[in-house]
Amino acid sequence: MSKKIVILTGAGISAESGIPTFRDSGGLWENEPVQLVATPEGFESDPERVINFYNKRREALKNAEPNAAHHALVQLEEKFGDDFLLITQNVDDLHQRAGNKRVIAMHGELLKVRCLGSQEHVFHCTEDQPEKCPECGAKMRPHIVWFGEIPFEMDRIQKALAKCDLFAYIGTSGAVYPAAGFRQLAKLSGAHVVCLNLEEISGGYTDEFIKGKASEVVPKWVEEV
Judged by the rule CB under 6 A, the positions of this chain that interact with ligand OAD are 10-12, 15-16, 21-24, 27, 38, 89, 107, 145, 171-173, 175-176, 197-199, 213-214
Which residue minimizes CB distance to ligand OAD?
12
Among the listed residues 71, 107, 121, 192, the single catalytic one is 107
Q: State the nearest-atom distance from the C-beta of 134 to ligand OAD, in Å.
A: 26
* Smaller CB separation from ligand OAD, 20 or 163: 20
Alpha carbons 210 and 201: distance in angstroms, whole number: 11
Active site residue 107: yes
Nearer to ligand OAD, 135 or 153 (CB): 153
Residue in 178, 168, 121, 171 with CA at minimum distance from that of residue 15: 171
- Residues paired with residue 105 on neighbouring β-strands, in sequence order: 88
Please report how close the Cβ of residue 89 comes to ligand OAD at its closest, in angstroms.
Answer: 3
Contact (CB, 8 A) for 110 and 142: yes
CA angle 19, 103, 198 (to 5 degrees): 40
Q: Toward ligand OAD, which CB reaches closer, 31 or 134?
A: 31
Measured in whole angstroms, the distance separating CA 171 from the mean position of its chain's CA atoms is: 10
Shortest distance (Å) from residue 175 CB to ligand OAD? 5
Q: Which of 78, 76, 61 is nearest to 9 (CA)?
A: 76
Give me the active site residues, please. Answer: 107
